[in-house]
């Protein structure tokens, strides 16, 4: 499932096309995705101006001129593409690691915009969804309620991390994946940040010292910033909005590198893999304590 950097990459790709435009028509080609669409969804979006395109955790948020917000989640296989002109093919620049799917049967939602462009949501597995909620009180909306601090926000630092994990007996990796504590982190970047900070995924979250918390918070911010800058990691079905693949997967330190030498220059360890809470954890048992 796309993590925070992938969703932010999609947001940055869509924003120049969608922000400031009017939705002249919305095609809703099926009654549901993961969940049913809101009642009169297409009708309520038609004629609305998109004031801004934001992100909260792993959700895209399109603010409309009537005070409503379209909440969008990509699920496991959802992607957007941008088309222009009646018969134009979408531009898909980039050196592809995985071919881009062209199954039009999975084009479920089409935004027809006043700038002549179409933004198309494609989702073969239909695990994504779209909702429509009021901007006022959006933090209590059903999909966003209870989300924790944004790890790329100004309020996130070692002190916040230390306070969040205080007295928690769960393993450090599990605590980092708890969306009620930190919103948007997923398995890939948690593995990367733990290795960068030299901390074991099995370490008790509550045992984290203030110094280690500072180190981990810095690693989280650095890993996410690098992934966003690189365009997100395009594992499996993820695509950027313009069709390009992100390339951060080529920079992974430990994720999916079982059996390879630890990339730290002063470490002679080997990357290992173990399963924690049903997910693969990649780590170096030599330098991560």
Which one-letter DSSP state was computed for residue 250? G
CB-based contact 287:269 (threshold 8 Å): yes
State the catalytic residues: 2-3, 58, 279
| Distance in angstroms (rounded) separating the CA atoms of residues 200 and 252 | 17
Largest Cα span, the chain: 61
CB-based contact 245:98 (threshold 8 Å): yes
CA angle at residue 69 from 108 to 120, to 5 degrees?
A: 25
The structure tokens listed for 184 are 């948007």
Cβ-Cβ contacts under 8 Å for 212 (sequence gap 6 or more): 197, 199
Helix (H, G, I), strand (E, B) or coil at 53: strand
């Amino acid at each position: 499932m796309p993590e925070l950097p992938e969703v932010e990459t999609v947001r940055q790709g869509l924003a120049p096309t969608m922000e400031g435009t009017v939705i002249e028509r919305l095609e809703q080609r099926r009654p549901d995705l993961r969940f049913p669409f809101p009642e009169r969804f297409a009708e309520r979006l038609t004629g609305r101006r998109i004031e801004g395109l934001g992100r909260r955790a792993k959700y895209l948020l399109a603010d409309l001129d009537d005070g409503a917000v379209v909440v969008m989640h990509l699920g496991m296989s959802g992607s957007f593409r941008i088309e222009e002109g009646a018969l134009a093919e979408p531009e898909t620049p980039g050196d592809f690691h995985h071919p881009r799917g062209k199954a039009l049967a999975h084009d479920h939602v089409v935004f027809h915009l006043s700038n002549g462009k179409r933004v198309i949501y494609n989702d073969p597995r239909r695990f994504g969804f779209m909702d429509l909620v009021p901007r006022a009180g959006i933090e209590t909306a059903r999909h966003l309620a209870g989300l924790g601090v944004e790890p790329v926000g100004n309020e996130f630092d070692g002190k916040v991390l230390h306070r969040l994990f205080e007295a928690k007996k769960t393993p450090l990796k599990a605590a980092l994946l708890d969306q009620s504590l930190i919103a948007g982190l997923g398995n890939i970047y948690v593995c990367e940040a733990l290795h960068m900070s030299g901390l074991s995924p099995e370490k008790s979250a509550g045992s984290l010292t203030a110094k280690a918390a500072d180190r981990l918070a810095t690693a989280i911010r650095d890993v996410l910033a690098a992934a966003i800058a690189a365009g997100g990691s395009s594992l499996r079905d993820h695509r950027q909005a313009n069709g390009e693949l992100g390339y951060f997967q080529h920079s992974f330190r430990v994720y999916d590198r079982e059996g390879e030498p630890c990339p730290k220059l002063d470490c002679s360890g080997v990357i290992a893999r173990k399963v924690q809470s049903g997910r693969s954890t990649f780590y170096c048992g030599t330098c991560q304590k």
